[in-house]
Each structure stands twice: as C-alpha cells, then as structure tokens.
Amino acid sequence: MAENKVATKTEAQDLQKQEHQEERTVAGRFFIPQTDIVENKESLVITMDLPGVKKEDVNVKLEKNILEVEGRIDYAPYEKLNPVYTEYNIGNYARSFTVSNALDTSNIEAVLEEGVLSLTLFKAPEAKPRVISVK
Amino acid sequence: MFGKLSSELDIAIQKAVEQARDTNYFETSTTGHGVYPFINLFEKEGDLVLATELPGVKKEELTLEVREDVLRLAGARKIEYGEDCSCHRLERKLLNFDRSIKLPFRIEGDKIQAEFKNGLLMVILPRAESDKPKQIVIN
C-alpha cells in the first residue's frame, strides 16, 4: 500500500505540508511553511506562507544566530464544522533557520499580509559589499 | 485477505478502490488527491462550508463561481523578486489554478457567503430549497 501512495502523489508532493518533527510543549500540530529566502545588497528577505495566521499570533525570534518563526492559526472558523471531504491538514506553523553573523540583529522588519509573512533582515554594515579601489 | 489464492489483478483492484477512498487526514502529510488548490469540505447544520488556503493570492485575482451543484475556483499568484538578488531557497511556487468541484447537492446561489482573510478562503454554501429531501407520508 505504501508504494502505491508515493507513486500517485508525486505531482502534488511539493505542495503538501510537512509536519514539524520537534517535540513541543503546546497542544496542536505544527507544519513547516513554504519559504523563499532571497538575498539582495542590503538585506536578506525571507517570505513564508502562513495562511490562517493573524498578526498577533506570529512569533519571530532571533537569538544566537537562530531565527525561529512560529505562527499559530485561529481555530475559531472551524468550530462546529464536520469534515465531509478533506485534502489538506490544518495546523500551526513553525520553522527555524540558522543565520550568519553578518546580520544586524536589532533591525528586522516583519510584515504579514494575506497570509504571507515577509521578514527583512538587514545586513550589518560591515557585511555590505565594499568596493576596493586599487591605486 | 484470502491468502495466496488472490490473483495479482484482484490485489491491484482492491488497492485502487481503497486508495480512491483513502484520506491522510490523520497522518503527517496531506493527501494531494485533488488538484491545486487543496480544499477541505465541511458540513455545518446542513450547509456546506468550503475552506481553502490561498496565501499570497489577491482578492481581485480570485474567481469564485457556482452553478447548480458545481463550484469553480480560479485564480493566480505571482511571485516576483528583484533582478539583483541571489535566491538561496525558493519553495513557494508561481500558481495558476482553475478547479471545478462537484458538490453533493445544489446550492442556493443568492445565499452564498464568502470570506477571504489571512489567505484563508471560507465559503458557506447553503443547500437549495428545491434540493432538500421531503418527507413522504405513507398511508
């Protein structure tokens, strides 16, 4: 049975949610949100898909080079609903990344819009590319 | 199930039938039986409620249509980054979707309510009056 499941799901596999395997002290399932990490001259931009999460329920923490993002969803719309046909799982989101020293830890911008969280981590002034002129 | 007497064909048919009705709701990853966008259909007091996660899709680019008992969901999501960037990780995909779902009963078109908040689309689909079962009195 296991082999057949993998074969038919390969097309949609990229879009499925992966469960976060860490043990937690809070009740509720955690999934890994899809993330894009893009770097430009001044900053590192991290974009994560967090549908169903409100601004107040997002926790972003940067400590000792580890960036941790956690988003709890609002279970209120799901009360009193009985599932009839399901294709995806509903749960909270969490992901952590190890980031380099070259980031300015006091200057992080976070914007949550339409279920997409954009984190802009500015690079520390020393890490910006510097042009060295040769005399 | 019946020991080694089952033929290969029987086993294949059994697996296909079970798979068609299988759901991974309680497992770690999602089913992916359907096409994107994945939907969850719920029932509440006789009405259907559809839930879909569409992060990054704007309301203006989303089309939601209902005709009798078929629901159509279409839209697009663009992802753009500047030219001078180096991409370390790109997991989010550009999406164009158009999906029609057949519902178990006809819907009352005028009473549909749809809410799109935080990337989560919730549509309440009330059953059409003409489609509700009627009690038959037996003499």
**A11 within some domain:** no
Domain boundaries, chain B: 37-128
Residue B132 contacts by C-beta under 8 Å, 6 or more apart in sequence? B46
**A2 within some domain:** no
Q: What is the pLDDT of residue B78?
A: 82
Question: Which phi-psi region, left, alpha or beta, contains residue B52 (left: φ > 0; alpha: ψ -120 to 50)?
Answer: beta
**A102 within some domain:** yes
Which range of residues forms the domain containing residue A70? 29-126
Nearest-CB residue to B23 (from A49, A86, A116): A86
Nearest-CB residue to A34 (from B34, B36, B91): B91
* Chain B residues within an 8 Å CB radius of A39: 85-88
Q: What is the pLDDT of residue B59?
A: 86
Q: In the beta sheet, which residues pair with residue A94?
A: A70
Q: What is the pLDDT of residue B105?
A: 83
Residue window 13-52, chain B: list those with CB within 8 Å of chain A. Answer: 15, 18-19, 22-25, 28-36, 38-45, 48-49, 51
Q: What is the pLDDT of residue A13?
A: 52
Class of the domain covering B37-128: mainly beta
| Strand pairing category for A92-98 and A30-32 | parallel
Q: What is the pLDDT of residue B23?
A: 57
Q: What is the pLDDT of residue A105?
A: 76
Residue A97 contacts by C-beta under 8 Å, 6 or more apart in sequence? A37, A46, A66, A67
Task: For chain A, say whether B102 makes contact (Cβ under 8 Å).
Answer: no
**A113 within some domain:** yes
- Distance CA(A85)–CA(A93), nearest Å, equals 23
- Distance CA(A64)–CA(A75), nearest Å, equals 32
Per-residue pLDDT of chain B (139 residues; tens, 9 = 90+): 555 666 778 778 887 777 766 655 554 444 444 467 888 888 888 888 999 988 888 888 888 888 888 888 888 888 877 666 788 888 887 778 888 888 888 888 888 899 998 889 999 988 887 777 888 889 8
> What pLDDT, in 10s, does the model give residues B7-43?
778 778 887 777 766 655 554 444 444 467 888 888 8
* Chain B residues within an 8 Å CB radius of A102: none
**A38 within some domain:** yes
ipTM of the complex as predicted: 0.71
Looking at the structure of chain A, the number of domains it has is 1
**A131 within some domain:** no
Distance from CA of A133 to the nearest CA of B (A): 22
**A135 within some domain:** no
Q: Please, which contacts does A127-132 make with residues 24 or more away whose CB atoms are closer than 8 Å?
A: A127/A102, A127/A103, A128/A41, A128/A42, A129/A41
Q: In the beta sheet, which residues pair with residue B72?
A: B65, B100
Distance from CA of B14 to the nearest CA of A (A): 10
Exposure string over A83-110, b if 16+ CB within 10 A, otherwise e: eebbbbbbbbbbbebebeeebeeeebee
Q: What is the pLDDT of residue A66?
A: 87
Per-residue pLDDT of chain A (135 residues; tens, 9 = 90+): 333 333 344 445 555 677 766 677 777 788 888 888 888 888 888 999 898 888 888 988 888 888 889 988 888 888 888 888 888 888 889 998 888 877 877 788 899 988 899 999 888 877 667 778 888
Reduce the DSSP state of residue A92 to 3 states and report it: strand
